């Protein structure tokens, strides 16, 4: 009997290195998402956050290191098999099909037998989608389109969902709704790895925080161990009013 099961991460990233051609973008990244945990992944533009998620999902090959799902090494598995093993990526830009209806977008994944049940669950989480099931996704607002993307992540009942800048381009009120939906999702026990430009929102919901700088983890801890200001000033190189130094 294993005594490590309780702490085995749902998603384990170990010494991960990835490159585009000659450019190395991730350099030996270690990151763990434990069951049911919300992990925020922060860092300046170009640090490699999207690449980390794409490599975990199998869309970018790892040139060194491993990706594990519930302790199982999936580094050489296809994106499809990783999705079946419980990993879901909600990409930046939403990845929905504008000309298909809301219902069709939500039905693209998942076993046909469970479609009705799944659709009910998604509509329960995002009631506004229930009112627009027959409409082409292109006719929905940006926030509603993001709800489709999030809804699709529920279809396969994943153990861990990676969310890349889900608030991008949305109005504050809509972002509130999206984050409420994420918190509901987290409460059901789904682990989340969240890349988010709004540091305060990310810190408010995270159990664990990683800061990535130039493809390496530059800080890791809990939100109680760091302030938003410190992250902005030391790691994101954002000049704050009052003349804070830039790292």
Ligand X SMILES: Nc1ncnc2c1ncn2[C@@H]1O[C@H](COP(=O)(O)OP(=O)(O)OP(=O)(O)O)[C@@H](O)[C@H]1O
Residue ranges that bind ligand X, judged by CB under 6 A? 20, 23, 25, 43, 45-51
Least gap, CB of 80 to ligand X (angstroms): 20
Least gap, CB of 212 to ligand X (angstroms): 7
Pairing of strands 72-73, 64-69: antiparallel
Least gap, CB of 118 to ligand X (angstroms): 30
Q: Beta partners for 14?
A: 66
Question: Which of 25/90 has CB closer to ligand X?
Answer: 25
What is the 8-class DSSP label of residue 100?
A: S
| Alpha-carbon gap, residue 133 to 240, rounded angstroms | 44
- CA atoms within 13 Å, Cβ hemisphere of 238: 15
What is the 8-class DSSP label of residue 192?
A: E
Pairing of strands 87-90, 160-164: parallel
Question: Which of 60/106 has CB closer to ligand X?
Answer: 60
Least gap, CB of 8 to ligand X (angstroms): 27
Least gap, CB of 23 to ligand X (angstroms): 6
Question: Which of 8/219 has CB closer to ligand X?
Answer: 219
At 24, list the tokens: 């190395």
Q: 3-state DSSP call for residue 144?
A: helix
Question: Which of 45/224 has CB closer to ligand X?
Answer: 45
> Is-contact 160 193, C-beta < 8 A?
yes
Least gap, CB of 46 to ligand X (angstroms): 4
Q: Beta partners for 37?
A: none
Question: Which of 159/164 has CB closer to ligand X?
Answer: 164
| Alpha-carbon gap, residue 189 to 60, rounded angstroms | 28
Question: Which of 140/232 has CB closer to ligand X?
Answer: 232
| Alpha-carbon gap, residue 30 to 15, rounded angstroms | 5
């Amino acid at each position: 009997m294993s005594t490590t099961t309780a702490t085995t991460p749902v998603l384990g990233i170990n010494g991960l290195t990835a490159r585009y051609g000659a450019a190395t973008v991730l350099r030996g990244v270690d990151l763990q998402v434990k069951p049911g945990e919300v992990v925020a992944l922060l860092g300046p533009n170009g640090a490699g956050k999207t690449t980390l998620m794409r490599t975990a999902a199998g869309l970018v090959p790892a040139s060194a290191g491993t990706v594990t799902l519930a302790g199982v090494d999936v580094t050489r598995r296809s994106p499809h098999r990783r999705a079946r093993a419980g990993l879901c990526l909600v990409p930046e830009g939403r990845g929905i099909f504008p000309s298909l209806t809301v219902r069709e977008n939500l039905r693209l994944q998942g076993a046909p037998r469970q479609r009705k049940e799944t659709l009910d669950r998604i509509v329960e989480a995002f009631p506004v989608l229930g009112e627009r099931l027959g409409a082409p996704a292109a006719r929905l607002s940006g926030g509603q389109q993001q709800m489709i993307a999030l809804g699709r992540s529920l279809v396969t009942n994943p153990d861990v969902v990676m969310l890349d800048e889900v608030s991008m381009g949305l109005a504050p009120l809509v972002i509130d709704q999206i984050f409420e939906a994420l918190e509901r999702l987290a409460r059901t026990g789904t682990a989340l790895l969240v890349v988010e430009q709004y540091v305060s929102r990310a810190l408010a919901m995270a159990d664990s925080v990683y800061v990535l700088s130039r493809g390496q983890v530059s800080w890791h801890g809990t939100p109680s161990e760091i302030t938003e200001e410190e992250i902005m000033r030391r790691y994101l190189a954002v000049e704050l009013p009052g003349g804070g130094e830039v790292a």
